[in-house]
Structure 1
Amino acid sequence: MIYLGLFILSFVLTYLIKNFYIKKSLVAQVNERSSHTTPTPHGGGIAIAICWFIGLFILYFENSIDTSLFYSLLVGIIISFVSFFDDLFELSPKLRLFVQALVAVLGIYFLGGFNSLDFGLFSIENQIFTNIFAFFMIIWFINLYNFLDGIDGYAGSEAIFLALAGFVLFADSHFLVIVACVAGFLILNWHKAKIFMGDVGSTLLGYNVAIFTIYYSNYESSNFWVWIILFSLFWFDATFTLIRRKLNKEKLSQAHKKHAYQRLHQSGWKHDKIVIASIFVNILLFGLIFSISNVFISFIFAMIMLYAIMKYIDKRKAFN
């Protein structure tokens, strides 16, 4: 019943936010980076954030979530709050980075640190190294999720996939809370979107994925690679694009439209077609985890598949 209630609340809040933003002319204007053609309200992720934290507290008072995970996820309130104002006023990059660093430190603290990095043949258990790695991973996940929130339904469908996969693998209730909260928003975000998620939603979701990766890795080191594979559609695109731009000697802080999903849209694919294709790819990634017992082999196959997809997109729209 809690999940149905959160779903309905998310939808109602998204609808009300959309109407309020339209009334106040708080809309995302079309520019050179846009993949939309008409001014559209943004900041719908507020609904996701509100419902998510309500759901978290319900789970906490029902003793349905581990205390360390609860407090580390609760830190996400900070990134959501600051990102809300960033959506409205475009805060300075330095302030955003400071806040991201703060939540990364707090998140790691409440989780008790990042225990180890297992590479199969060897593992790294030096807490200084693993925690530094976790720090930068959290910041990168926050930013890359924001980078890839660029077309209708893309970021929302990715969140639902990760949550459903997490529930199948680990059977924890907080994943169903995410599904309910994001699904309510996604109704109005599916192509053609009537409202966008905004930084307030995308940064929170990226933070949550990073926290889940660390939390479940601390219980079983191979779970790190499970989450890396599940999230690979997003981080592979963001990381590979960043590396290519660096090799091209581009200014990395400059806005661009070179991510794979953006170039696929430029090649003629519509938003819904790209999202449906991404869902299919995610199902294949999930299948790799289930069909191959060795998670490191699954990771190799996942990288080969994603690289092949990237080369296919390069043929449709060259990386210039």
Structure 2
Amino acid sequence: MIYIVLFSISFALTYFIKEYAIKKSLIATVNERSSHTVPIPHGGGIAVAITWFAGLIYLYINNQIEPTLFFAFIIGAVIAVVGFVDDIVELSPKIRMIVFALVGATGLYIIGGLDVLTFGLFDISNTFITSVFAMLLILWYINLTNFIDGIDSYLGVKFIFLSVAGLVIFGADYFAVLGVSVLGFLYWNWHNAKIFMGDVGSTLLGYTIAIITLYYANIQSQNLWIWITLYGVFWFDATMTLVRRKLNGEKLSQAHKKHAYQRLTQAGWSHSKVTLYALGLNVVIFLLVYFIPNIAVSFALSLVLLYVAYRFVDSKKKFES
């Protein structure tokens, strides 16, 4: 019953935010990075955030979530607020990064840091090294999730996939809460989108998946690579694009449309087609993780699959220098 209530809250809030944004002209302008040709209301991530935090509070009151994880998730509200402000007035990147770092460090402290960084053949348990790795992962996930949020339904479908994957593999109730929080928004964001998520949602979701990754890594070290593998479509695209732009001598802070999903839309694919093909890729990766007991093998196979998919995108739309 609670999940129906949460879905309804997300669905209704997204609608009212959409209507309010239209009346107040709070719309995402079209720029060099946009994959849209007309301005669309943004801020739908507010509905995701409110529903997510409401669901977490319900779980906490009913002892259905570990207190440490609950508080690590809740501190993400600061990121959501900063994202909301940034959607309206466009904050300085330095201010954003300072907030992300402070919140990330707080969340990492709450869950007890990262105990061990495992690479199969050897482990690293040095606190300084594991802490630096964990902080870099948090900051990279926040930013890359924001980068990847560029076409209708792409980010929403990804996080529903992660929610279902987490529910199947680990069985925790908060995965269902996360899934329905995004699902209510997704109805309005499906192509052609009536509203965008905005930084308020994308940065919060990036922080959330980073905390999930590190929290489960402390339960069992190989879980780190399970979550990294499941998030592979996003980080592989973002990382490859970043490296290739750097090799091209481009200014990395400059807006662009060179991510794989963006190049597919430029090649003539609809937003929904790109999203559904990406979902299919995610499902295959999930099956590798679920049915292959050795995470090193499933991770390696996923990398091969992601590279093949990336080269396929290159064949559809060349990565221009």
Q: TM-score, with normalisation over the residues of structure 2?
A: 0.99
Tell me the alpha carbon deviations over residues 158-177 of structure 1, each in whole angstroms, 9 at most, x when there is no partner: 01000110010110000000
Q: Paired residue for 2:247?
A: 247
Q: Take 1:30 and 1:228, find their aligned partners in 2: how far apart are those partners?
A: 32
Q: Paired residue for 1:145?
A: 145
Q: Paired residue for 2:70?
A: 70
Q: Take 1:22 and 1:181, find their aligned partners in 2: how far apart are those partners?
A: 22
Does residue 158 in structure 1 map to residue 185 in structure 2?
A: no
Q: Paired residue for 1:226?
A: 226
Structure 1 counterpart of 2:66, which letter?
Answer: D
Q: Take 2:187 and 2:94, find their aligned partners in 1: how far apart are those partners?
A: 34
What is the root-mean-square deviation in Å for CA atoms of aligned residues?
0.6
Structure 2 counterpart of 1:318, which letter?
Answer: K
Q: How does 1:77-226 map to 2 (within 5 A)?
A: 77-226=77-226
Structure 2 counterpart of 1:235, which letter?
Answer: W
Preserved CA contact (<8 Å) 2:79 2:204 = yes
Preserved CA contact (<8 Å) 2:169 2:290 = no
Deviation at 1:31, TM superposition (A): 2.1
Q: Paired residue for 2:51?
A: 51
Deviation at 1:83, TM superposition (A): 0.5
**For 2:5, what is the secondary structure of its paired residue?**
helix
Tell me the alpha carbon deviations over residues 153-199 of structure 1, each in whole angstroms, 9 at most, x when there is no partner: 00000010001100101100000001111000000000000000000
Structure 2 counterpart of 1:229, which letter?
Answer: T
Q: Paired residue for 1:281?
A: 281
Q: Take 1:218 and 1:32, find their aligned partners in 2: how far apart are those partners?
A: 41
Uncovered stretches (5+) of structure 2, i.e. residues with no partner: none
Q: Paired residue for 1:257?
A: 257
Structure 2 counterpart of 1:55, which letter?
Answer: G
Deviation at 1:29, TM superposition (A): 1.8
Q: Take 1:117 and 1:82, find their aligned partners in 2: how far apart are those partners?
A: 31
Q: Take 2:66 and 2:296, find their aligned partners in 1: how far apart are those partners?
A: 28
Deviation at 1:150, TM superposition (A): 0.4
Deviation at 1:279, TM superposition (A): 0.7
Q: Take 1:11 and 1:29, find their aligned partners in 2: how far apart are those partners?
A: 24
Q: Paired residue for 1:316?
A: 316
Q: Take 2:12 and 2:95, find their aligned partners in 1: how far apart are those partners?
A: 32
Q: Take 2:315 and 2:179, find their aligned partners in 1: how far apart are those partners?
A: 35
Structure 2 counterpart of 1:239, which letter?
Answer: T
Q: Paired residue for 1:236?
A: 236
Structure 2 counterpart of 1:198, which letter?
Answer: G
Q: Take 1:141 and 1:165, find their aligned partners in 2: how far apart are those partners?
A: 18
Farther-moved stretch of structure 1 (4-13 vs 32-41)? 32-41
Structure 1 counterpart of 2:72, which letter?
Answer: S
Structure 2 counterpart of 1:251, which letter?
Answer: K
Deviation at 1:127, TM superposition (A): 1.0
Deviation at 1:222, TM superposition (A): 0.5
The number of aligned residues is 320
Q: Paired residue for 1:19?
A: 19
**For 1:214, what is the secondary structure of its paired residue?**
helix
Deviation at 1:292, TM superposition (A): 1.4
Deviation at 1:290, TM superposition (A): 1.7
Structure 1 counterpart of 2:195, which letter?
Answer: I
Uncovered stretches (5+) of structure 1, i.e. residues with no partner: none
Q: Take 1:252 and 1:210, find their aligned partners in 2: how far apart are those partners?
A: 23
Q: TM-score, with normalisation over the residues of structure 1?
A: 0.99
Percent of aligned positions with the same letter in both sequences?
55
**For 2:319, what is the secondary structure of its paired residue?**
coil
Preserved CA contact (<8 Å) 2:6 2:180 = yes
